[in-house]
Chains A and B, each alone.
Chain A
Amino acid sequence: MGTLRIETAKGKVAFEPGASLSGTASWTVAGTPRSAELRLIWYTRGKGTPDASIVDSVSFVTPRASDSRSFSFALPLGPYSFSGKLISLVWALELVVEPGPDVERFDLVLGPSGSEVLIGGAEAAHEGAR
């Protein structure tokens, strides 16, 4: 089992639509990876079948067993991060280093004023998401 890490510039986790998202992806795994990829994704959680979509991705060329790479994405205008009682949509960065089971995910908020949209009386359990 290796160590994977995603860090955004200045530790930022909340972004406005269309903003630039940059940072560093780093990993230490047992052998030389066949591939290393960072994906910008959204996924849903809730009562129904989970859904997900890869919006953008960057493949790191000739990854080493222990490596660190910078990245930058232009965030799309939507969909916004939102939560209701039945479904939540979450943006995230996902670092996948193959072969192996190593995956790291870093959740983000994409929304107006960098806030998650709460609908239908859903209450955020995280104080920081209010």
Chain B
Amino acid sequence: VTPASFFPELRPWVEGLVNVWPAYIIKPQFASWQVLHILSLVILGGTTIC
């Protein structure tokens, strides 16, 4: 049993996400977005403690 058994429309929808905003902006600069993601974690870590 997979998610597609219950939601057969899920897979084509997920596959189409790559062509939808903001995916087509993020994908060419994926590594930079990852850096932003990690820096956000750093902000989260600091602000949670203090």
Tell me if chain B binds chain A.
no
**Which residues does B use to contact A, with CB under 8 Å?**
none
